[in-house]
């Protein structure tokens, strides 16, 4: 059984000017033991999808289920825990230990089991020295770790993480990435992670689902997406720079070209129907002397931006 099944999910928000559609027929699956990234620009529908999955919102139409339980039913809470915007998930006047025991009790965890889980999570998140410190006195990184620990104290198999590294410094962000990977590898959790930090997603997720304007525009493994765009992106080193008129000619012939005059180079992304031979033809016709051609190495941020921009061009 898949951990998450989303099928033709639609969500409309009522406004004075009429309904605003946040999700427009979203479908995807997450298998047990996966870490899947949910990506999209602001307003793409990521947080709406996460809130529907954990039962905080009801869909206008379509289906969303967690381990076979419809997300609209109260029983879904037994299977899923959510971290929504980090430290807002904890009570700042309670200590680290009190927060963990409070959230355990709130979910019906027996006191003895709550104490055991609290001890395990305090050790896992390296919070031993802070266990009696109130949450408002913690650093932002410690608050974020405490929020994630409070989500885990329920013992659910699925975690929905919305911007888990928001506002963290580089060192703490890397520490949390390692904890998320450990939760899957050593503790058998399934994670759906939404983040604007592409480094976090590329470092932790094997697969990504990309949303644009409430629709899924890509759903594939990170290596496959990187390989796809690697075959389309090239960097051209120029022997003598650009001759007169070449910039205009190349911009008209090549749909996505960036001129790096200070480096005597240009970067170009070819559409699927063209290959490197058509690139060389365009350069020759423009009178450009080429010193070398190499494939550019895109990262996940490059891939995300290209997919979203292609989608916007198609809508126009």
pLDDT digits (tens, 9 = 90+) for 275-314: 888 889 999 999 999 999 988 777 888 888 888 877 776 6
Q: Tell me the Ramachandran region of residue 68: left when phi exceeds 0, alpha when psi lies from -120 to 50, beta otherwise.
A: left
Please name the helix (run of DSSP H) or strand (run of DSSP E) that holds residue 83, with its range, or none: strand 80-84
Does the pLDDT of residue 168 top 90, yes or no?
Answer: no
Query: Higher pLDDT residue, 262 or 22?
Result: 22
Q: What is the mean pLDDT of residues 11-32?
A: 95
For the chain, the average pLDDT equals 89
Q: For residues 178 and 192, give the distance between their C-alpha atoms in angstroms, rounded to a whole number.
A: 15
Does the pLDDT of residue 255 top 50, yes or no?
Answer: yes
Structure tokens at 272: 């699927």
CB neighbours of 316 closer than 8 A, spacing ≥ 6?
Answer: none
Does the pLDDT of residue 2 top 90, yes or no?
Answer: yes
Q: Which pLDDT band, with edges at 50, 70 and 90, does 87 fall under?
A: very low
Q: What is the mean pLDDT of residues 182-187?
A: 88
Does the pLDDT of residue 98 top 80, yes or no?
Answer: yes
Domains of the chain: 231-315 (3.30.70.100)
Q: For residues 12 and 61, give the distance between their C-alpha atoms in angstroms, rounded to a whole number.
A: 9
Cα separation of the two ends of the chain: 39
H/E/C letters for each residue in 52-79? HHCCCCCCCEEEEEECCEECCCHHHHHC
State whether residue 86 is helix, strand or coil: helix
% of the chain surpassing 90 pLDDT: 55
């Amino acid at each position: 059984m898949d951990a998450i099944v989303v099928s033709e999910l639609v969500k409309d928000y009522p406004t004075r000017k009429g309904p605003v559609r946040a999700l427009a027929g979203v479908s995807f699956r997450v298998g047990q033991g996966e870490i899947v990234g949910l990506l999209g620009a602001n307003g793409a529908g990521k947080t709406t999808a996460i809130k529907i999955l954990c039962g905080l919102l009801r869909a206008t139409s379509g289906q969303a289920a967690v381990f076979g339980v419809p997300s609209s039913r109260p029983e879904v809470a037994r299977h899923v825990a959510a971290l929504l915007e980090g430290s807002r998930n904890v009570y700042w006047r309670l200590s680290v230990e009190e927060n963990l025991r409070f959230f355990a009790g709130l979910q019906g965890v027996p006191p003895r089991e709550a104490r055991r889980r609290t001890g395990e999570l305090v050790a896992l998140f390296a919070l031993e020295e802070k266990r009696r410190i109130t949450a408002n006195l913690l650093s932002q990184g410690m608050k974020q770790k405490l929020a994630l620990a409070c989500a885990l104290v329920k013992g659910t198999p699925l975690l929905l993480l919305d911007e888990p590294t928001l506002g963290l410094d580089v060192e703490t962000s890397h520490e949390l990435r390692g904890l998320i990977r450990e939760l899957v590898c050593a503790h058998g959790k399934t994670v759906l992670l939404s983040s604007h930090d592409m480094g976090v997603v590329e470092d932790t997720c094997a697969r990504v689902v990309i949303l644009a304007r409430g629709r899924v525009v890509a759903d594939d493994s990170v290596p496959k997406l990187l390989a796809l765009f690697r075959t389309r992106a090239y960097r051209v080193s120029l022997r003598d720079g650009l001759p007169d008129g070449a910039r205009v000619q190349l911009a008209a012939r090549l749909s996505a070209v960036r001129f790096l005059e200070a480096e005597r180079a240009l970067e170009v992304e070819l559409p699927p129907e063209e290959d490197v031979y058509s690139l060389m033809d365009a350069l020759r016709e423009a009178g450009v002397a080429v010193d070398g051609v190499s494939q550019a190495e895109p990262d996940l941020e490059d891939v995300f931006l290209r997919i979203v921009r292609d989608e916007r061009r198609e809508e126009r």
